[in-house]
Amino acid sequence: MIRPLALGALAVVLGGTGVLAMRHAATLRDEVERLRETQADFALERTAAEAALRAERIRLALERAREAPFAEAAPYLELILEDGRLVLGRGEARLREVAVGVALAPGIRAVERIEPDAIVLADGMTLRRAGADSIPAATVPGEIAVLRADFAALRAVLRVGDLAYVH
């Protein structure tokens, strides 16, 4: 009599264990499915992040390429006689424009000397820092008076040998 009772108890225990094992297996299957979905989501996010990184690198390379001509190009002066404008430029960029009044012959001149109060071009034409905050009405022939702030900007950028175009 103990044997059938023990067998019955064993059957109940094994049945319960089987039910628990099936539930645990279902939980594990659900967990594996969730991990696969998470892995797929992560792979998509990683691909998107890599694409965004490549796009950012391309954008930075293009920005550097756009700026390179201005950073590498030599500065120059351009004196436009018709308008009475003196332009400081670098590459295709115009860095500063100054109104001036002067009568000169057209041509190309190189910067010969840079002094504290004057920038002297090869033919003797001189850009002189104005003593006041306004340009004097009369200037010495062959000299162009330039406001202090404008002169400081020209002096900071120009170097001996840079060109001045008068047209």
User: What are 141-160's pLDDT values in tens digits?
Assistant: 777 888 888 888 888 888 88
Give CA–CA dist 110/105, Å, rounded: 14
* pLDDT one-digit tens code per residue, 71-102: 556 777 777 766 777 777 777 777 777 777 66
Give CA–CA dist 73/158, Å, rounded: 12
- If one looks up domain 74-166 in CATH, what number appears? 2.40.440.10
Give CA–CA dist 128/137, Å, rounded: 14
Note the pLDDT of residue 135: 59
Note the pLDDT of residue 112: 92
* pLDDT one-digit tens code per residue, 20-38: 778 888 888 888 888 888 8
Instruction: At 117, list the tokens.
Output: 């109060």
| Per-domain residue ranges of the chain | 1-72, 74-166
DSSP state of 69: H
Note the pLDDT of residue 137: 52
pTM of the model: 0.51
